[in-house]
Structure 1
Amino acid sequence: MAEETWRELSDVIESAERDVLEQFLDDLTPDARTLAVSRLSDATRERLLETVDPEDAAEILEGLPESQVTDAFENMSAELAARIVEEMPSHHAADVVGELSDEAAEAIFSEMSPADAIDIRALSRYEDDEGGGLMVSEKLSYDSTTAVGDVVADLQGNADRYEDFDVQYVYVTDSAGRLEGVLYLRSLLLTPPWKPISEIMLPEPRYATDKSTVEELHALFDTISFNAVPVVDEHRHLLGVLRRSAVEERMAERSDRDYRLTQGIVGGEELRTMPLMLRARRRLSWLSVNVVLNVIAASVIAANEETLSQVIALAVFLPILSDMSGCSGNQAVAVTMRELSLGVVRPNEILRTALKEISVGAINGLCLGILVGCAAWAYSGTPWLGVVIGVALMLNTMLAVIIGGCVPLGLKRFGVDPALASGPLLTTVTDMCGFFLVLTFAGAVIDKLV
């Protein structure tokens, strides 16, 4: 069905009949439309965006993967790009322009209205994970001395202009533009028109700052029921509005990025519609590093080849020890990554984290060591193999949770993305140490094992 829709859309675009194309797109669900447009070739997608209205083009692009959106804007004319950007919510527009080359961004700004260009420039200076980078600059705000009737008249007289604004709340400022309060629309409708809005506003509203991190914003929305909050600068000047959905979307994007990094998808977003060699090159850059790390771990086995050849049963339990220690370490990595995202641990708290993890590692290592050690005893018929495997697993589990808990902090402290490098470092070190412990202990009691 998806293949058929994509091909039909491609044929309609080739026909260059605008009315037919718009009707075809209207008949598709948002998900079906995104899927079909994402399958188009770059050239065909560009023709689509050139054919439909800028408002429709903006809506189409908002649903596409970031890489396809960036490519589309890089290839279209600056005039068309400016018209589409002006139809986007300001924070999405800033994200799009921020991903473009400086030359392409400046060309788009030159084609935009001065007011819109100033807004998007200001937003694009913020980081994606800051309140300023997530807010929309479109807002409804009035001076505290304004009468209720004047506010209602302005809303009614500019309904078309305010259509895309978040009009659930109206914000009240002083003469210098500093936030003073918030109004519900219901309060405006049920209040005599001559009253100033300062008399019916909710004072001391909850707000976010333009430099608040996404973790702080997520925590803020967890404590309130509002769907949006005002965003202010350090002097409490009202800058924009932050929607709950924008924070949730950003948190989901971060989780998706971190997951891709842990799975070795580096260099940004990857789609199967991208050039084959680009996709292969990105994956190989990660896989080749893992080859080196695995060779290092395997060298420990090679150095103890004589012990392993005398006690073949060791080979059965080496993968178990490696896997169990790796799982324990990855649990510690996950906890540290979560604490970093919440801001409840600092990169310099390595000793504290190690002490917290070693107690968990000792308990879990003892339990796992006994279980696997008993299995080794039952398999080989000698308790000494059980002792070797059990003690090695217990010690390696303790080491794994310490490394898993502390490595992300160390990487963060030195400016390396912990989501990218924690897993490979953990795997290599725990494998090397686990193999070393098993084979060293086995060598020490080799007479009792053979």
Structure 2
Amino acid sequence: MHVQIRPWEILKKLIALEDAAEIKLYLHELTSENIAGAISHIDNDEKAKLVTLLQPEDAAEMMEDIPWVQAVKMLEDLNAKEAAAIIAEMRSDDQADYLAEMDQTDAEAIMIEMEVDEVENIRKLIQYDSDTAGGLMITEFLSFDEDNTVDFVVNELRHYSDKYEQYSLQYLYVTSDGKFVGVLQMKDLLLSKATTRLSEVVLRDALIVKDSESVTELISFFDKHDFYGVPVLNNTEELVGVVLRKDIRETEAEIANIEHLETQGIVGGEELRTMPILLRARRRLSWLSVNILLNMMAASIIAIYQETLTAVIALAVFLPIISDMSGCSGNQAVAVSLRELSLGVIRPFEMLRVWIQEVSVGIINGIVLGTLIGAGAWLWQGNIYLGLVVGGALAINTVIAVSLGGTIPLFLKKMNVDPALASGPILTTVTDMFGFFLALTFAGMMLKQTG
């Protein structure tokens, strides 16, 4: 019988043998997914040993393939000198992100072990919000003064080829007294005469972004322009970095993943089962404990109409259907609003416009769904009044659900509350309450006919 070898089993053996060369070769053979899986299946002592066996540049490369929270934990478990050696091999934006995520004391201890100019650059990057161009840019770029000649630039690139090997050399950037002038394409550099000054071949109308621009604005920029990267300028028109297209796409995917987790009640960012149990339980309970209170509020409506429900017992079968279908309709509206907010298509102050658009859809869907469930209730019980009760309740509640689902995210965004996290529980509670209220009120009004 064929026995499948799991990647972590091999990795565990190599770590136990302390075979650094074989570990490096094995990791290079694995896909990013298998590396992440293998690291997740080894214990903390093995992770620490693995990192110390690898060369700093290999350890830094490995950390690109594993979840962010795991990489931060592995760095925190190392001594400051070992962690500093690995971080020194990372790109500038990753350096700043990792150190900003760590305990301040640990981060300071690591920076003491790093080069002074590198630390100065990291401190500048840490000052930016992580969701701005300044927080997402890299500082590994090449810029030259417009008075330099083509020959000077080419010789500079050749002389420092080892240093610039890891740089993105799709473009060079041209400045004048520190101010941004434009972009120099590599083909223009290589095809120009040696004595030509950069001022003669620079593209001066190059598009730029400001260091304060948000992730949403950057996503929109790269949706419109198929650029490899874009230069980042500060308020004084100085070139401070470059934002790469692939980094924005990765950030966009991370935001979508976090929003999805939050809509499912996973708060506090990414959760992995390798994280401490108490931390995971606390994060989940912060949402579940609120949600149970909201559900108790919805259930109280049933308690108020207990006599009506007892008299019309068949109605109990349809209450969960009314609640669930209304909730589904509302969640569709929530999803569209969250997506449009992330794309910048709508703004929080456009609640009236969004509400009108959602009501239009809600009325159509409410009539269709109400007719279907009403017909089903009538055919099942042979009582047209029961069909009118459940059909009318679902139709009206569908309109209410999409109205709330479309506008709640905008309202929460306006109040600086995370709409992805809070929209779901609020919508569920309100649609449940209205659904129960409408169905039981209608039933009470038609008690004689439905009983």
The normalised TM-score by structure 2 is 0.96
* 1:2–1:35 Cα contact (<8 Å) kept: no
Distance 1:60 1:101 in 2: 22
Alignment-derived partner of residue 353 in structure 2: 352
Alignment-derived partner of residue 325 in structure 2: 324
* 2:145–2:174 Cα contact (<8 Å) kept: yes
Alignment-derived partner of residue 414 in structure 2: 413
* 1:227–1:244 Cα contact (<8 Å) kept: yes
Farther-moved stretch of structure 1 (430-439 vs 343-352): 343-352
Distance 2:406 2:5 in 1: 46
Match of 2:49 among 47, 70, 74: 47
Q: Which amino acid aligns with 1:110?
A: I
Distance 1:213 1:173 in 2: 25
Alignment-derived partner of residue 249 in structure 1: 250
Alignment-derived partner of residue 92 in structure 2: 90
Give a deviation string over 1:240-296, Cα, whole Å, max 9, x none: 111100000001000000111111112322112223343333323322222222222
* 1:2–1:32 Cα contact (<8 Å) kept: no
Distance 2:112 2:279 in 1: 33
* 1:262–1:423 Cα contact (<8 Å) kept: yes
Q: Which amino acid aligns with 1:178?
A: K
Q: How does 1:199-218 map to 2 (within 5 A)?
A: 199-218=200-219
* 2:36–2:67 Cα contact (<8 Å) kept: no
Distance 1:188 1:373 in 2: 74
Distance 2:311 2:27 in 1: 70
Q: How does 1:358-377 map to 2 (within 5 A)?
A: 358-377=359-378
Distance 2:87 2:48 in 1: 15
What runs of 5+ residues in structure 1 fail to find an aligned partner? none
Alignment-derived partner of residue 121 in structure 1: 123
* 2:32–2:66 Cα contact (<8 Å) kept: no
Distance 1:372 1:17 in 2: 67
* 1:90–1:136 Cα contact (<8 Å) kept: yes
Report how many residues are paired.
449
Give a deviation string over 1:141-178, Cα, whole Å, max 9, x none: 11111111111111111111111111011111112x22
Alignment-derived partner of residue 153 in structure 2: 151
Distance 2:372 2:366 in 1: 10
Q: Which amino acid aligns with 1:82?
A: A
Look up the SS of the partner of 1:203 in the other structure.
coil
Match of 1:140 among 142, 158, 182: 142
Question: Aligned-pair distance for 1:227?
Answer: 0.9
Distance 2:176 2:380 in 1: 79
Question: Aligned-pair distance for 1:4?
Answer: 2.9
Distance 2:279 2:333 in 1: 34
Alignment-derived partner of residue 239 in structure 2: 238
Look up the SS of the partner of 1:415 in the other structure.
coil
Look up the SS of the partner of 1:88 in the other structure.
coil
1:438 aligns with 2:409: no
Q: Which amino acid aligns with 1:429?
A: V
Distance 2:29 2:326 in 1: 53
Look up the SS of the partner of 2:174 in the other structure.
strand
RMSD of aligned residue pairs (Cα, Å): 1.6
Alignment-derived partner of residue 5 in structure 1: 7
Q: Which amino acid aligns with 1:174?
A: S
* 1:328–1:400 Cα contact (<8 Å) kept: yes
Distance 1:435 1:31 in 2: 46
Question: Aligned-pair distance for 1:49?
Answer: 0.9
Question: Aligned-pair distance for 1:3?
Answer: 6.4
Alignment-derived partner of residue 37 in structure 1: 39
Q: Which amino acid aligns with 1:449?
A: T
Question: Aligned-pair distance for 1:415?
Answer: 2.0
Alignment-derived partner of residue 162 in structure 2: 160
Alignment-derived partner of residue 400 in structure 2: 399
Question: Aligned-pair distance for 1:413?
Answer: 2.1
Distance 1:7 1:275 in 2: 23
Look up the SS of the partner of 2:58 in the other structure.
helix
Alignment-derived partner of residue 286 in structure 1: 287
Look up the SS of the partner of 1:112 in the other structure.
coil
Q: Go from structure 1 to structure 2 and tell me whether the alpha carbon gap of 1:217 and 1:284 turns closer, same or farther (over 3 Å shift).
A: same
Give a deviation string over 1:340-396, Cα, whole Å, max 9, x none: 212233323333332332222222212222222222222221221121112211211
Distance 1:431 1:27 in 2: 53
Farther-moved stretch of structure 1 (241-250 vs 203-212): 203-212
Q: Go from structure 1 to structure 2 and tell me whether the alpha carbon gap of 1:110 and 1:70 turns closer, same or farther (over 3 Å shift).
A: same
Question: Aligned-pair distance for 1:2?
Answer: 8.0
Look up the SS of the partner of 1:182 in the other structure.
strand
Alignment-derived partner of residue 100 in structure 1: 102
Question: Aligned-pair distance for 1:54?
Answer: 0.6
Distance 1:17 1:106 in 2: 32
Match of 2:65 among 47, 63, 66: 63
* 1:148–1:192 Cα contact (<8 Å) kept: yes
Q: Identity of counterpart residues, as a percentage?
A: 48
Distance 2:355 2:283 in 1: 34
Match of 1:170 among 135, 152, 172: 172
Farther-moved stretch of structure 1 (422-431 vs 386-395): 386-395
* 1:109–1:117 Cα contact (<8 Å) kept: yes
Look up the SS of the partner of 1:202 in the other structure.
coil
Distance 2:428 2:166 in 1: 50
Give a deviation string over 1:298-349, Cα, whole Å, max 9, x none: 1111221221122222112111111111111111111211222122333233
Give a deviation string over 1:62-99, Cα, whole Å, max 9, x none: 21111111211222111111111111011111111110
Look up the SS of the partner of 1:164 in the other structure.
coil
* 1:178–1:237 Cα contact (<8 Å) kept: yes
Question: Aligned-pair distance for 1:113?
Answer: 0.6
